[in-house]
Amino acid sequence: MNYTVINRDVHVGDIHVIAVTSSAIFLIGDADVINIASAFDTPPESLIIGPFVPLIQRGEQ
Amino acid sequence: MKRTSMVEYFHGETFIISSVLQIGDSREITSRSRVLAVQRQYELFFGSEGEGIFPTFTMPIPKLQANRNRISVQTLHQSPIISVRSIRVLAASTSAVVHIGSTSTVNAEARIKHIRQLAPNFSASSMKNTQTPTPIVKDEK
């Protein structure tokens, strides 16, 4: 497959960003490869209604 | 060849928790963040708990492997600059990167787990009461 990109004039005015977070990237420039992944977990099991016991510690599984 | 980035005015308010403001080119960016957020109905924390046991933090995330050999990419920079008048960033946090300039490879990963823990006697009827039940504090040791 042949893929040609022509970058003409780029003039941007004002950028206003509230927040960049959790391994996100805000890039003014060129890049060859961008590989970003995110795992966000809030399943129903994450809502624990019960006595306040510590979460399982390492090696106690 | 990469283009030159020109920014006339930059304002960054807050950069916290391993976030980076990079001015200038870079070759490789690898950023990682792991967040375990535990919210309890009462102010209670037992110390080192729940570290390294959740699959969210251990499972491998499959990567998209584009076969770059099969694609011939040709880039023509008719204009060698990217210009921006002004940038205002209120906050960057948790391994985020604000980058003015070009790079080659970006590899980033975020793993976040939220847990909410409520008291057992905290039912819908008790929610109406403004008075919160007394916290059940277990012996720590």
Cβ–Cβ < 8 Å for B50, B126: no
Residue B127 belongs to some domain of the structure: no
Inter-chain touch A19–B90, beta carbons under 8 Å: yes
Of the candidates B75, B127, B101, B9, the residue with the CA atom closest to the CA atom of residue A26:
B101
The pLDDT assigned to B129 comes to 47
ipTM of the complex: 0.79
Measured between CA atoms, the residue of chain B closest to residue A40 is: B112
Residue in B94, B123, B140 to test binding to A, most A beta-carbons within 10 Å: B94
Range of the domain at A38: 1-45
Residue A24 belongs to some domain of the structure: yes
Rounded Cα distance between B61 and B54, Å, is 14
Residue A31 belongs to some domain of the structure: yes
Residue B63 belongs to some domain of the structure: no
What's the structural domain count of chain A?
A: 1
Reading the block at residue B3, the tokens are 């283009």
Range of the domain at B22: 4-58+78-118
Rounded Cα distance between B86 and B11, Å, is 8
Tens of pLDDT, residue by residue over B97-107, are 999 999 999 99
Residue in A20, A36, A60 to test binding to B, most B beta-carbons within 10 Å: A20
Q: What average pLDDT does chain A have?
A: 85
